[in-house]
Amino acid sequence: MKVLKEGHLYELDMFEDTPNDSGNQRIQFIEKASIIGSTELETVNNGTTNEEVLEMLIDRMNFLQKIFPCRENALVITKLEEALMWLEKRTKDRKKRGVKGKQIK
């Protein structure tokens, strides 16, 4: 993994080198910045979210668990689901407090 822009843009290595592959993949996370004189945030670069990446990993691990069932896969799924739950709780709490999408703690 290579960090192209800390917190927002990453380049991931391909597992195997094949002639038709470019060698890596990029993942862009949504990037927001403060609007001067406001607590509001604006999108600078559109991208994915932590929650979407976790949902993708959960789906992949469930697929692998069907093919290669093991305790370790089950534990990984549980921990990924727990991480997703905490992120969703954070978002719900921020919505409830009226600070979602704003630079307010």
From first to last of the 105 residues of the chain, give the pLDDT tens digit.
999 999 999 999 888 877 777 678 999 999 999 888 888 889 999 999 999 999 999 999 999 999 999 999 999 999 999 999 999 999 999 899 888 777 776
**Bridge-based pairing state of the strands 2-5 and 9-13:** antiparallel
> Number of folded domains in the chain?
2
Same domain, 37 and 54: no
Domain presence at residue 103? no
Structure tokens at 44: 């600078």
Distance (Å, rounded) from C-alpha 15 to C-alpha 40? 40
Same domain, 1 and 44: yes
Same domain, 10 and 53: no
Which residues have a Cβ under 8 Å from the Cβ of 86 and sit 6 or more positions away?
Answer: none
- Print the domain residue range for 64: 49-98
Same domain, 91 and 70: yes
Same domain, 53 and 92: yes
Structure tokens at 15: 């597992």
Q: Is 65 exposed, middle or buried (0-12, 13-18, 19+ CB in 10 A)?
A: middle
Domain presence at residue 21? yes
